[in-house]
Each structure stands twice: as C-alpha cells, then as structure tokens.
Structure 1
C-alpha cells in the first residue's frame, strides 16, 4: 500500500504530502497538530494472506504493542519529541511523532560542520533529553542527525525514538533475538550509520552514539568508515577511527564518549554538566570569514522549553552569529542614534558668508602687517 496527499490513515492522520523515503507529514484530525509519519515495509511472511483476525495479523500487532509500550513509558521533556504510537495499515508499519516547525539536523549539516560551541549547544540539548529517558529506565537507540530537529528558537529536539524501536523490533521478529540472521536484517534496515552500531546497548550505547554525533557535527564526518555495514562494524570493534583533535574544544569529551569500555564513558548527566562548563568558557564572537562561512541554524538556542508550533518551515538565512557560533536576528540601529546621522554644528546656509568674511579678514591683516613693517 502506498499513500498520497489527502489520504487518511488509521482513521485520523490526513497526509499532506507524498511519501518520501517512507516518511510523510500529516495532520492529526483529532488534535489539529502536525505529525511526522514514518513507515517500515512488512515482509510478506509477517502479513500473509490471512484475514485481519487470523494468525497472519499477530506479528504486526506484536510490533505495534512493543512500540506503543515504549511510547507510553517515555517521559515528557522539553528537548524530547513525543511519539504518538504506531499502527499497521496494509504492508506498512507506521510510527507517529509530533513535528513542530524546524529543520532536521542532517539537512543543516549538509552545508558543512558546525562551529564547536554551536555543536556543544546542540549536544547539551540532546544530553538533557537522554538524561530524562535514562532516568525513566529507557534507552533511545537511534541518536542520529536524522533524528534531531532544530527548532525555530535554535533548540535541538531529539526524536526518532519510536522509529528506532520499530526497526529493532522488526529485526528481532524476522531474525530472532540474536545471531547472523538478525544482524543481516538489521543491517538492511539501519544501513551504515555509525551512530547506530555501538558495541553495547542501553544508556552507555546512547552516550557512545552522542559522541559519534558530536564528532560528525564538529568535523562534518563520522569517526568511523561508513562505506558499508561490515566495514563499519569491524572498525568499531577494532577501535579504528579518526582522532578527535579536529573537534577542537570538544575533542577530549568525544574521546571519552567513544572509548570501548562503557563503564568509563560519561553518563548523560555528566555530559550535560561538562558541556555547560564548556559553554560558560566560550569566547566572544569573532567577525570574519570563518564566522560568515558557518552553516546557518534557526534562531539563538532558547534556555526554556522549545516552542511547539504547527507552522511548517524555519528560516535560517540572513541571521548574525551569537557568542557560541549560533545565530541571532540582526538588530537594527535607528538612524538618529548613529553618529553619521547627527546634525552638523554649523548650518550649511552660513558656510558661504563665513568663508568670504574669513578671506577678507586675512587680506586686511596682511595689508596692516605690510604698512607696520614698512613704516
């Protein structure tokens, strides 16, 4: 089944655009909110030709229940996008997530790496969301640039929780709880995205993924090769990666986050504190080509809860840098307050007569001096 604009799914989500990479925006007709729908294709082995009440419907329903359980247990946090559950329609498993106005982080990184202190701001927001999740006994498992939304106020919002759960549940449904078959299914679902292949899961795996994402934000690339899943997994296991020196002031934190021993990695709470200290020492902005060439991000990062708006889009161009390498709206200086706009001390109409009088006075003084010295 393939859906298009205007079609209503699950009796409430009216699609507003075409499916792209099995994702689409929709309007929730019950709440009026804009949501993001993501779909996973269910193999025929999970669907079969059974009636909806028959045995063929059971695997899909199990997946929906697993996703719904995590969604219900997820805490509410200002930096965490809320999931609204999952449903099966046709041959697709859909997950639903709120979608305020903003831009995906992966799209913004397409313009190049972020200044280190702007990357630190984004990471601090994500660490706060992870801290809330870990405190609720949950792990995220899908901390990637594609799962992060940068809101209009510059705050970073962590999404992708339910799509990540759906992918892991489908890999286990098709490949079993472990082994080669599950690895192959997961590789096909996830692909060679470095953040998705930690050596360990749980909260420590999320912190490792945040370290990889920090490296990506600061340098424009992952610290591990992403040419294919086998090459990526082998490099992670062997610890072959690009050193973090290029991450600037974030380098020491990145090194500790991506180390192989999970017991030595900082927790989400410790990451939050360390990034706060780093941002407190951030230098004042420096005007120049380096600042002008950095990719734009919407608005200065807000210290309070992110604004949840239903309008689409977020302008990111034509804004000046803030002290951490972020952006802020340019301030307009009134003309009467600028020195160039001050009125002249001498009215223009008097300049001509004053000049003629001055020349005449100099001539009189010159004649008087000649007479005085000649006499």
Structure 2
C-alpha cells in the first residue's frame, strides 16, 4: 500500500482511504476516494476475523481470500437495486488480503433505525420484500449471505434498503464458527440453527435470518438474545420463540418462516408471495393491521419474553399449535420430520475449545449422582391406565376422543405439590403414562410432551386446563442418541421441595414484582443425566431469573436477573 500526496493510505495506487466506516466478521470497511474517477466509494478490507483463528486454522486466510474474491465477482454480475454494487476487486500480487471496492451508500443502517424503536408493520413488510429481492438475486448466482442482520442493511435517503457485507465464510469444520474467545463469526442472534450446528446451510438459512430480522424490526426486541453470546447460541438451538404481538399481517409470515427445520420454511418465491399478500392488507391475509397476536393467538410465556406493559393485559391462553413441537413457534413438526435436537453434544460440535471448556466447567459443578429413584428407569404404562390416544377427532369439536378425564379441577395456583400431582395424574389418565419428555407448569395451566407409546421415538403434545388434560396434537420425534430428549418419570421429582425452591427464587433471583412464575421439568442441556426442575420468575420489564434443581431437590444452578 502506497500513500497519496496528502499522506493518506492509497490502495492499488488509486483508492485513497479517508475514514473507517465499520468492522465486521470478515474485515473492515473504509470510506475511500477513487482518485481515477473522482468519486467516493466503500472499500472493504478482507481479513480473517481474529488472528488467533487464522493461526489455529492453517489455510484459513487463503480460504477467506478465495471465497471473498469468488463471491465478489459473482455479486459484480448481479443487477439488483437492493444488492450493494461491486465496482472493482483489488488482488495484491504479494498474496496479501484482497480489497473489494463497492458502492458507497449514503444513509444509515436498519440497526441505527431500530435504536429509535420498532418500525411500523407496513415499513417492515416493504423492508422484507426488498431484502428478499436481494437475497433471491444472490441465491440465483449461488451466493449465500450468511450474516443477514440489521447492521448489514443500509437505508438510502429515499428509504430503500441495500443488503451489504456478503461473504461471511463458512468452514468445513463446525468448530470454526467460533473464535478462540467464543465469539461467533457472524451474529449469533441471527444465524440459523442449522448453521450454529455446524452445517453449511442453504438459501433457507438466509431466510431464517431475514425472518428474525423482520421479527425484531416489528416487535422491537429480539426473542432469543441472552446475556452472553454462548447463551444466545444455546437459545437459537433450543428455546421456543414467543409469537409476535405487534406484527399484525406479518405474523403469519413469521410463523411459517421461523421454524428450525429448514425443509419446512418457504422458499424465496413462496416467501415473496406471502409478503405481497401481507402488504395487500386484511382482504388478502384476513389479519387487520394492529390486530395484535393475529393467528398465533396469545404469546407463549418464556424467560426471554414478556408482553408489552399494559394495565389491561392479562396472560392469555396458549394455543395448541404453540404448545406443541418446533420450539414453541409456528406449526408443529409432523412425526416424520426430526425435531431439532436439544443436547450438549449438538452444542459441543459448534463450540471452540475455550467455549467448550466453559460448558464443561458449568457441568462439573453439578452433582454426579446416579439416576435416583425411578426418574431414569425404563418404566412402563400402568396396567390400569387409559388406552393410548389414537388421534381420532370428534367431528365438529376439534377435540380428540379419549383425551379428557374427570379429575376435579385443582384450586388456586398449580404450582403446589398437591396440584402438580393432580396435573400429572390427569396427564396419566389421558396418555396412560407418567413418563414424559418435558413438563411445563404455569400457575393456571400446564403443557406436556409425552411419548406415543412405551419405547416410541415419537411424542405427542398435551395440555392441562380447567381440570382436564387432553392431547392437542403430534409433537415430534425423540432422537435415540440425544441424552436430553429421553423420557423420564415425572413422579420421581422432589415435588415436596417446590415451595422452598420457589421461596428461595423469590428471594435470590432479583426479579422485582414478578408477573409470571412457572417451572420446566426435563433433561436440561447442562445436566442431561438427571432430570432437572427449573423455576422461572419474570416481570413486565423483561427481568428474568431461574433456579435449577435436580431430581432430589438439590439446587444445581442459579441464574439471577442481570
């Protein structure tokens, strides 16, 4: 690199660096002056994201260079108003990192716009169609973006969107997705689950990222962002996504798009039609602007989410399609489609050594006790239990035969030992077993994932409400090699210790004036050998805290509100 007469760095004897515009996972972008054509341009300096990664991965720099140049050339051939224009590629003869000369977009990013608050739904729909147009053009040329996020979308002065910063590298080894400091290459909040698991992904992975961006733009918050990057990665892999409440006609689009199985997402053409229908208004979508939850029904209470503060708002009913399968968001996965695996092994393949050590350290503080009682035993259906539900539906009712029971409705909160046992007994009468994959109990209703039969690799979704337990539909599959998906006997948990655990949580978790309390019982990612009971507290300001106790009632983890 030479210098100009003004002593500023000069790239390729032509591009005068003026100021740094920003840095990302693949290098630094500069404002530069093209002294040959007398115009300002954006100059991207393509470098490995972290020197430690380059040192630990032989050939990484060459791989980054090859991919950046290849994709820049492909992008340069595209003609789309929403794809940043590539003017020139500088490939130094000495083999050092390349420079990509791009259109300089005078405007702010969507990230900057969202700092002011959520966008109106019509603006979000327009944004979605424009970014999708850019992605479809890139996908048609064999290019995946891999880092669709608000900071990578610029808004021209006329408001139109431009997708920038293509070329985030994908590596053959899943561990390369994290640097030695545990930071993802790309933004963990927007990366598709399959890419977090170490898969290269496909165009559907970019569409997940676009869907998450549209969710954030309309709702004003990210449903999976956690306190740390590692916690966010776990949430992306595993946590249910609360249905949107402000998205109006966009809500049906999001429910189709944000599903963890990429095969179930709409393709680019299908998504384009859905966004167009949503823009057409209530006559096309049946969802009026400002209609709140829309087809999702009310939001699913979850540690990452509470509804907007409103004196008139009360926690409503959760529809069965939210309660079943697919991470709590969108339609349930059919039994033939593998449900996203939630396990420490899946997480481990996408972590670097440092992050993996951190996880191991967290696990090592947990008890190493055995299975305890019958919580991990093979178990079987009671001989006097109800006949397993077949899935036949009573015409015109939407209810399924054989799903109800006559257990008297419990009084008061379900979060007492006696009422929990009533809930479990109701589920046993409806399903024929007390072995479950997961059980979630709120103060006024409960949800369960119950194997379809003894030893089955599929499970059904159940709901308990007003004293009645019923099957609400198919849930998904149980991976034989996933430790944290294996069913267990929920009666073996130390339910008598629940009041003390809740009292301890109220005093230690730092959640002032909680508006939501609930427990989740299942094989936790960080303690899959033994079932774990997690007690959550949330308030209207999104403060979240939880305690985790093992099957014997011993607290094994505490996560106060930050």
Give the TM interval when normalised to the shorter protein.
0.5 to 0.7
- State how far apart, in whole Å, the 1-side matches of 2:152 and 2:251 are: 23
Q: Shift of residue 18 of structure 1?
A: 4.5
Quote the residue 1:25 is aligned against: 31
How far the C-alpha of 1:111 sits from its partner, in A, is 0.8
Higher helix share: 1
User: Once the two structures are superposed, what CA deviation does each residue of 1:18-71 show, in whole Å capped at 9, x if it has no partner?
Assistant: 565443211223333432234465528969xxxxxxxx9x86455323211111
Checking the alignment, whether the CA contact within 8 Å between 1:23 and 1:37 is kept in structure 2 is: yes
Q: Distance in 2 between matches of 1:228 and 1:197?
A: 17
Matched, 1:180 2:181: no
Residues 91 and 112 of structure 1: CA distance in aligned 2, closer, same or farther (over 3 Å): farther
Residues 87, 278 of structure 1: CA spacing in aligned structure 2 closer, same or farther, 3 A cutoff?
A: same
The 1:230–1:281 alpha-carbon spacing in structure 2 relative to 1, beyond 3 Å, is same
Kindly state the Cα deviation for residue 77 of structure 1 after the two structures are TM-superposed.
1.0
Match of 2:202? 202
Give deviations 1:98-127, integer Å, cap 9, x for gaps.
213222111111111100111110111011
Distance 1:116 1:5, change over 3 A: farther
SS at match of 2:111: helix
Partner of 1:138: 143
The answer (yes or no) to whether the contact 2:177–2:184 under 8 Å persists in 1 is no
What residue number does 1:67 align with? Answer: 68
Question: Which consecutive unaligned segments of at least 5 residues does structure 2 have?
Answer: 196-200, 291-562
- Aligned partner of 1:105 in structure 2 is 110
Moved more, 5-14 or 217-226: 5-14
Q: 1:269 maps to which residue?
A: 269
1:237 matches 2:237: yes
State how far apart, in whole Å, the 2-side matches of 1:225 and 1:78 are.
31
Matching of residues 298-313 of structure 1 within 5 Å: none
Taking structure 2 as the reference length, the TM-score comes to 0.42
SS in 2 for 1:161: coil
Structure 2 vs 1, CA of residues 61 and 32 (structure 1 numbering), >3 Å: closer, same or farther? farther
- Higher normalized contact order (CA 8 Å, seq sep 6+, divided by chain length): 1
Q: How many residues align?
A: 266
Map of 1:310 onto structure 2: none
* 1:253 counterpart residue number: 253
Q: What is the DSSP-based 3-state SS (H/G/I as helix, E as strand, rest coil) of the residue aligned with 1:205?
A: helix
- Give the drift of 1:94: 4.5
CA contact (8 A) 1:141 1:205 kept: yes
Q: Could you tell me whether the CA contact under 8 Å between 1:5 and 1:14 is conserved in 2?
A: no
Superimposed CA distance per residue, residues 201-252 of structure 1 (whole angstroms, 9 cap, x where no aligned partner): 2100011001000011101222212432221121121143232233222111
